[in-house]
Amino acid sequence: MSSAKLRDPPANPPPRRRLLRGDRHRQLLDVAWRVVREEGTEALTLGRLAEQAAITKPVVYDHFPTRGALLLALYQEFDARQNALMDAALQASDSTLASKAMVIASSYVECVLQQGREIPGVIAALAGSPDLEKLKRDYELAFMERCRIVLAPFASGGEIVSAGLRAMLGAAEALSYAAATGEITPIQAQEELFETIVAMVARTARR
């Protein structure tokens, strides 16, 4: 009989710990943002998400029944982060038009930069579906209303017209994207958006 010591059979790998639903949801959103950042929005499918998260498709479907639901969840997260950032800055700001306008400008640009170049792609993808575009517009209207409330005390009669707010939002999106792609600097984006907001309120005050 050989004196060589018999090797123990290889141990079975420990079973994977099942993530709690909230943790799994967080993981899927993080992976989705990474796919958009590295491969573009077009590459973000539920199948690709399952592959990158190393899980089965049914698990992904349990959280996001459609690709549209996933895109909307990404936009909702961006919107919530933007609101939280702006709320905190507004509470710490002075009660002047210049201070409030700079908070709106800097928080919008900063939030887009924190998300990188991913959010413009998500926004563009949402525009491809009428239902998702409507939901996106609802979030935009809510943001515009928040800005209206903040800026109204500095306007004539305490009123900011919707056309001005829509122009402000368009400028915010364009300038933030230009900063995210390196076309302009973040400071340039913030300063130009600040001037746009102040000019909008000034035009309202002259009416």
Rounded-to-10 torsion of CA 63, 65, 68, 70? 10
Low pLDDT (below 50) residues in the chain: 1-6, 13-15
What pLDDT was estimated at residue 91? Answer: 93
Tell me if 45 sits within 8 A of 68, measured CB to CB: no
In CATH terms, the superfamily for domain 18-65 is Homeodomain-like (1.10.10.60)
What pLDDT was estimated at residue 181? Answer: 87
What pLDDT was estimated at residue 17? Answer: 59
Q: What angle do CA 65, 66, 71 make, to 5 degrees?
A: 120
What pLDDT was estimated at residue 11? Answer: 52
Alpha carbon distance 46, 57 (integer Å):
7
Alpha carbon distance 174, 180 (integer Å):
10
Annotated domain spans of the chain: 18-65, 67-206
What pLDDT was estimated at residue 14? Answer: 47
The CATH code that applies to domain 67-206 is 1.10.357.10
Alpha carbon distance 71, 53 (integer Å):
16
pLDDT (tens digit per residue) in 134-156: 888 898 999 999 999 999 999 98
What pLDDT was estimated at residue 20? Answer: 85
Tell me if 69 sits within 8 A of 150, measured CB to CB: no
